[in-house]
């Protein structure tokens, strides 16, 4: 089976570029994308089983993997939330699925966003991991609006190993992530 396009690009072009730019001597010290974590809050769908199942199906369709249900750890009376109630869905992608998802995110999903001018470069943590929020999960091509749940937000975290924010930003730029241009 053929490797995903983005994985081939990383192995052939991006590694060499990173070695040159950051003068990395040891190949084990190269920054690489370890995993992609996709999260979705369920909100009111937690009380509606049919809607919740629809969201689970949508999450499976957009990631290619069954999502795990995240339950509430505490009870909060003002939110009508009891301990153990489902509050979110989470999927961790690695390997070929991860590269396929990243390729779809960069080349299809982000350009479909309304008034998209690039992702914020300030969304890196101190370890070089990048988090991106998408307001509506319906921008993914696998989601059929007529059969899907109402639009829900999706959070995508790209975990980069052996990195800091500067190296991570360059790695993601080389993989095609469209960052916002700095205003002059």
DSSP labels for 164-180? -HHHHHHHHHHTT--BP
User: Model-level pTM?
Assistant: 0.87
Whether 183 is in a domain gets the answer no
Measured CA angle at 147 (ends 157, 42), to 5 deg? 40
Whether 180 is in a domain gets the answer no
Whether 179 is in a domain gets the answer no
Whether 159 is in a domain gets the answer yes
Residue 167 predicted with pLDDT over 70: yes
Specify the 3-state DSSP secondary structure of 38: strand
Whether 41 is in a domain gets the answer yes
Residue 151 predicted with pLDDT over 60: yes
Q: Which has more pLDDT, 41 or 72?
A: 41
- 126-139: per-residue pLDDT in tens? 998 999 998 888 88
| CA neighbor of 176 nearest in space, from 21, 23, 33 | 33
Whether 97 is in a domain gets the answer yes
Residue 184 predicted with pLDDT over 70: no
Specify the 3-state DSSP secondary structure of 97: helix
Q: How many domains does the chain have?
A: 1
Scanning 10-105, the segments in alpha helix (DSSP H) are 15-22, 49-63, 95-104
Whether 19 is in a domain gets the answer yes
Q: Which two tokens mark 138?
A: 């319906």
At 183, the pLDDT band (50, 70, 90 cuts) reads low
Whether 184 is in a domain gets the answer no
Please state the rounded mean pLDDT for residues 5-23. Answer: 88
Domain extent at residue 93: 5-23+31-174
At 182, the pLDDT band (50, 70, 90 cuts) reads low
The CATH number given to whatever domain includes residue 69 is: 3.30.1440.10
């Amino acid at each position: 089976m053929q490797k995903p396009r983005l994985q081939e690009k990383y192995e052939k072009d991006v590694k060499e570029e990173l070695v040159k730019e950051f003068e990395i001597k040891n190949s084990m010290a190269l920054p690489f994308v370890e995993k992609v974590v996709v999260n979705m809050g369920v909100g009111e769908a937690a009380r509606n089983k049919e809607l919740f199942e629809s969201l689970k199906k949508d999450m499976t369709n957009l990631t290619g993997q069954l999502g795990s249900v995240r339950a509430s750890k505490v009870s909060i009376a003002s939110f009508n939330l009891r301990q153990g109630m489902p509050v979110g869905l989470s999927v961790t992608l690695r390997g070929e699925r991860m590269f396929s998802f990243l390729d779809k995110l960069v080349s299809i999903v982000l350009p479909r966003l309304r008034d998209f001018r690039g992702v914020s470069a300030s969304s890196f943590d101190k370890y070089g991991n990048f988090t991106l929020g998408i307001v509506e999960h319906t921008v993914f091509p696998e989601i059929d609006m007529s059969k899907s749940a109402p639009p829900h937000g999706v959070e995508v975290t790209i975990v980069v190993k052996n990195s800091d924010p500067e190296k991570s930003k360059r790695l993601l730029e080389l993989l095609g992530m469209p960052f916002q241009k700095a205003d002059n």
